[in-house]
Amino acid sequence: MSDNPHGLRADLLALLGRRALTEDAARPDAVEKQHARGGRTARELIDDLIDPGSLVEYGRFVTAAQAQKRPVDELLDRTVGDGVIGGVATIDGRPVAVVSYDYLVMAGTQGMRGHAKTDRLLDVVERLRLPVIFFASGGGGRPSDTDIPTVSGLDVPTFARWASLTGKVVRVAVVNDNCFAGNAVIAGCADLLIATPRSSLGMGGPAMIAGGGLGQVESKDVGPIQVMTANGVVDLVVEDGDESLAARELISYFLGDHEDWQAPDQTVLRDAVPENERTAYPIVPIIETLCDEESVTVLRPEFAPELTTALGRIEGRAVGVIANDTRHMAGAITADAGDKAARFVNLCDAYGFGIVSLVDTPGMMVGPEAERTGLVRHTSRLLVAAAQIRVPLIGVVLRRGYGLGAQAMLGGSTHAPVMTMAWPSAHLGPMGLEGAVRLAIAKELAAMDEDTREATVRDLTAQMQEHASALNVARHGEIDDVIDPAETRGVIARLLDAAAAEGRLAPRERFLDVW
């Protein structure tokens, strides 16, 4: 019988003692310091993300490769896990992988053994095809490891392995602190990126900036959240402390259908779009009404706000929505909007989400200033992306469907979607109707006095509106149907059912660009 009061063998006691050293409770000073800076520990973040008790941890006993400069007791105390915690777990009972750099260990920097540990996890991810959530904050590569001979360190496979997962498994990165250099690459390669107001993202931190002769920069000023949302780097901003919950909700779109859902009142859609096509209106309430209650997440809202991209659910099934927002640039397709929409379409296609396109656009943005942004190429990306998808595209023309912009929103043609329907308020044409009138009879209008000219434009525009009405376009077979707006959700749901039955909503392995 054992002599110890717990009745446990010495080897098991040694294991439990070593395991205790890997927990936050063994580092109270470091934990207190992290909390004082407004952060949370890696274990706290993971615990808030996953189902309780579901983590199967990998490599918990690894320490930094610094035995030549630190005693073993110090390595065990100060370099736990070599700054990486991760493993396999569940969210809502469904398997995922989770990885987090540990800011308590040398500011979450990337050590050589930490890289090897991450590589091992990513190998398991690829074998088991697990969705991944990666808490990426940290200061980049760590040059102070001594035990593993290296010169450049550029042969580390972590970045190539992480990047190679594109289009194979969904990867959500979370940044809630400074995230520089190699850590920022992990965030930048992800499919979706969540950040908090404390975040600062950059390909080089203050030390690297100073080393490059670019002056002294505070960490918070390298890539503050206001910059990273406006330029489209960050997909979703949440409050500090909500990042784990946000990651849990975002990854849930990729974990299968929801059985429990509630549909909003659809009759409100009948009055959702102003009759006057010059009157702007918010598009997100329409998206939220079409989707299940409390199911919509808008992505990159501050980047190219003239085009909204959102994930939602219809009858429990995840869908992607692209929509013109008439409050910005009248809903025209700009260079940034083309990039934003094309990338989102590719994301939906890779992971098997049907796409709903809500169209209210005057067309492509035009003019010399717009052309300086590379408009010709960037807007064309949406057309090319939509032409390659396997998932169904469903078009709904809410009000204005004009020109190449409308065609791009509909995959290149009103007949490219599995169905193109319109609301009664819709008008479709090769360009804005008033502009078409002024262009068609420009010489005649120039010869008129101002009052006669404007009256003539109004009369002819009204005639063109009748000709371009959704019902007349449908009469000529150029769109599939004109519907009561309150019917839209039901039609979309039935089309998605048909697509699912044909296997069109299954994820497929494909290249997914990060931009």
> Per-residue pLDDT tens for 466-490?
778 999 999 999 999 999 999 999 9
Is residue 362 within 8 A of residue 331, CB to CB? The reply is yes
pLDDT of residue 237: 98
The helix (run of H) or strand (run of E) holding residue 200 is: strand 200-202
Apex 509 CA angle, 504 and 514, nearest 5: 110
Instruction: Output the CA–CA distances (angstroms, integers) from residue 274 to 329, 426, 467, in the order listed.
Output: 17, 11, 20
**What is the second-level CATH architecture of the domain 38-252?**
Alpha-Beta Complex (3.90)
Tokens of 271: 């009055």
Rounded Cα–Cα distance for residues 427 and 328 (Å) = 20
Rounded Cα–Cα distance for residues 170 and 194 (Å) = 14
pLDDT of residue 460: 66
Which part of the chain has CATH 3.90.226.10? 38-252, 266-426+470-501
Tokens of 214: 């670019």
Instruction: Please give the distance of CA 29 from its chain centroid, rounded to a whole number.
Output: 36
Q: How confident is the model at residue 108 (pLDDT cuts 50, 70, 90)?
A: confident
How high is the mean pLDDT of the chain? 92
Is residue 333 predicted with pLDDT exceeding 80?
A: yes
Q: How confident is the model at residue 449 (pLDDT cuts 50, 70, 90)?
A: confident
Q: Confirm whether pTM is higher than 0.85.
A: yes
Is residue 110 predicted with pLDDT exceeding 90?
A: no
Of the segments 19-28, 107-116, 265-274, which one has the largest average pLDDT value? 265-274
Q: What percentage of the chain reaches a pLDDT higher than 90?
A: 73
Q: Which of 324, 509, 342, 337 is nearest to 426 (CA)?
A: 324
Apex 177 CA angle, 171 and 179, nearest 5: 60
pLDDT of residue 5: 62
Biggest CA pair distance of the chain: 111
Tokens of 471: 């019902």
Q: How confident is the model at residue 1 (pLDDT cuts 50, 70, 90)?
A: very low
**DSSP 3-state of 411:** coil
Is residue 200 predicted with pLDDT exceeding 80?
A: yes
Distance linking the first and last C-alpha atoms of the chain: 64
- For 67-71, 194-198, 374-378, which range has the lowest pLDDT when averaged over its residues? 67-71
Was domain 266-426+470-501 assigned CATH 3.90.226.10? yes
